[in-house]
Structure 1
Amino acid sequence: MKALGTLFIAALLVIVAALVFIYSGWYDVSANSAHGAVARRLLGTVMRNSVRAHARHIVPPELSSQMARAGAGHFKEHCAECHGAPGVERGDIGRGLTPRPPKLADTAQNWSAGELYWIVRNGIKMTGMPAWDASHSDEEIWQTVAFVRLLPRMSPAEYQQMVTQAGPHGHAHAEEGGHGHDEHEH
């Protein structure tokens, strides 16, 4: 009985400490200060495990070089500002986010194609990573994933060449071997 009482008091103290922490305003949520090591590790673990669990059953299509060429334009327009690219530093928005968006040229290989698709499609809460499903088709998201998968092996010159070859709205120019898509394609 004494052990049960001790356990109850310990649980009550944890609840009181949590409430003091929550309502005190002590934790700095400013984007100018990084999370502490414990919070960073905890949030990173939760994020990785959540993405892996939710993406577990996603079967990626064949990620072709044509898809990657189309994805280069999407990446340049929507991702490079925050994530940077080979030879391209993050822009003002990416430098101002906390936590800092990962440099995908360094970290993309840590995720499967299905996991990258899930992240791009759904975004990540409280990181600045938006969900692109409302403004981009599944095809466009897979094109972006195909491109992101190439980033870790891409030189700055190769990056510049691919984004230069990307046509309007991220579709590869026909003369470069891509055909993009229009209203008549399905």
Structure 2
Amino acid sequence: MKILLNLLITSFIVAIIAFAFGAYNMSATDKHWGITEKFIESMRENSIEIRSRDLTVPSLEEADMLSAGAEHYHAMCTICHLAPGMKPTELSVGLYPSAPIFHEREPISDPAEKLAHAKAYFWVIKNGLKMTAMPAWGLSHDDQEIWGMTAFIFKLSKMAPEQYQELIHAAEHDDHGHSHEHSH
């Protein structure tokens, strides 16, 4: 038992020294080991699931909600998550972990799975994610706007570029009372 304790303490001290002197490469071009990536992904998924579990999901089919969600997504999300017909941006290419590309995902038809995803999407949009480029939009947007973005993400699945452009054009003509042109 004493040997195990000494081994743990020694490993901990070596790890602290290695991290303190920059031995761990924090570069986004130096990918994690497979096991590390699985561990981080599992920790992220479990954290989101636990924290989003008790959310009440509103109807995500309302036209006003989808229109507002389309406007917000287009203005704030496409630089990382892209849009149908959009080529990767300089920012999206450099992200690690990479941002999900929602329009490339298969539609979710199972109601329980869709509900769980809606809760997770809302929570992530509102709170952001540490050690990714995902900001906490809940600091500048209310829940209704975030639910709109959540609703729109579901509509993006396998969407054609022409359909996306039509939705964005229609959303730009709706008045949602929010501007994405912020002054400095």
TM superposition score category, shorter chain reference: 0.7 to 0.9
After TM superposition, give the deviation of residue 136 of structure 1 in Å. 1.0
Is 1:55 equivalent to 2:60 in the alignment? no
Q: Look up the equivalent residue of 2:51 and give its one-letter code.
A: H
* More displaced stretch, 108-117 vs 17-26: 108-117
Alpha-carbon RMSD: 2.2
Mapped partners of 1:101, 1:65: distance in 2? 27
State the distance in 2 between where 1:106 and 1:128 align: 20
**1:89 aligns to 2:87 (yes or no):** yes
Which residue is equivalent to 1:150? 155
Amino acid of the residue matched to residue 135 of structure 1?
S
2 CA distance for matches of 1:41 and 1:142? 29
Q: CA deviation at 1:181?
A: 4.3
Check the 8 A contact 1:75/1:144 in 2, yes or no.
Answer: yes
Percent identity, aligned pairs only, is 31
TM-score by length of 1: 0.81
SS of the aligned residue for 1:89 comes to coil
Higher mean alpha-carbon deviation, 100-109 vs 71-80, is at 100-109
Distance 1:99 1:34 in 2: 9
| Counterpart for residue 22 of structure 1 | 19
TM-score normalised by L of structure 2: 0.82
Residue in 2 that maps onto 1:45? 42
SS in 2 for 1:11: helix
SS at match of 2:15: helix
Runs of 4+ in 1 over 6 A off after TM superposition: none
Of the three residues 143, 159, 164, the one matched with 1:159 is: 164
Work out whether 1:74 is the aligned partner of 2:72: yes
Whole-angstrom CA distance in 2 between matches of 1:182 and 1:29: 41
Instruction: Tell me which residue corresponds to 2:181.
Output: none
Query: Based on CA coordinates, which of the two structures has the bigger radius of gyration?
Result: 1
- CA distance, structure 2, for counterparts of residue 75 and residue 181 of structure 1: 13
- The number of aligned residues is 170
Q: SS where residue 166 of structure 1 aligns?
A: helix
SS at 1:52 equivalent: helix
Answer with 20-29 or 77-86: which moved more: 20-29
Gaps of 5+ in 2: 179-184
Cα shift readout 1:2-60 (whole Å, capped 9, x = no counterpart): xx222212222321332233223122112333333232222111111110110000011
Decide whether the 8 Å contact of 1:80 with 1:90 is kept in 2.
no
Encode CA deviations 1:36-89: one digit per residue, 9 max, x unaligned.
323222211111111011000001101124111221111010001101122213
Aligned with 1:125: secondary structure? Answer: coil
Which deviates further from its counterpart, 5-14 or 157-166? 5-14
Give, as a single letter, the amino acid of the residue that structure 2 aligns with 1:113.
A
On the 8 A contact 2:125/2:146 being kept in 1, the answer is yes
State the one-letter code of the partner of 1:44.
E
